Homo-oligomer: A and B are copies of this chain.
Amino acid sequence: MATTRTDPLTLEVVELIGAVVARYYEEYEQAAAAHSLTGAQARVLGLLSLDPLPMRRIAQKLKCEPSNVTGIVDRLEARGLVERRPDPADRRVKLAAPTEKGASTARELRASLDFAREPLAGLSDTDRAVLRDLLRRMLGMDPAGLS
C-alpha cells in the first residue's frame, strides 16, 4: 500500500531517527546504571511504579517470555526494590509491586530522564507542538489529540 520511499530526504530522516534511537537507548542505560540497575530492571521498575502487575502482564509489556520475568523480579526483590504479593482474586497470580525504596528509585530514575528532555530544550514551544504532531502521525495516532 504505502509505497516505500527511498528519496534522499526520507533516507536522511530515517538516519536521524536511528541517531535519536541510539542516543535515547544509550542514555537510558546510563541512567539505569547510575542506580546499579540493568535496562530491563529499570523498565520493569518503571512499569510497576505506575501500577502493580501480575508477572504475566509484565512479560506482555516487555514483549518477552514470562519465564524471564521471574529472574528480573527476583533480582529486584533481592535488592528490596520490589515485592511479590498474592492476588486475592486468583491464588495462582503473583502481583509484583514496588516497595517504598523501589518507588523512590523509580522516581529518581524518572527524574534522570532529563536526558530525554534536554535535547528538546533547543526547540521552541511551536517547534515542540509541530514535532508532537509529526510523531503522532508517524505512530499512526489520530492527528488531533482529542483529550
Contacts and interface: CB of A to CB of B under 8 A. Distances in A.
Contact of A138 (B120, B134, B137, B139): B120
Contacts of A127: 134, 137
A134 B132 contact: no
How many copies of the shown chain assemble into the complex? 2
Contact of A16 (B18, B25, B139): B139
Interface residues of A, number: 45
A129 B12 CA distance: 10
A67 interface: no
A117 B20 contact: no
Given A117-B5, A122-B138, A17 B14 contact: no
Contacts of A9: 125, 128-129, 132
The 4 A-B residue pairs whose C-beta atoms are closest, nearest first, are A2-B121, A16-B135, A119-B138, A14-B116
13 contacts: A2-B118, A2-B122, A5-B117, A6-B117, A9-B128, A13-B131, A14-B113, A14-B116, A17-B20, A20-B138, A20-B139, A119-B139, A134-B134
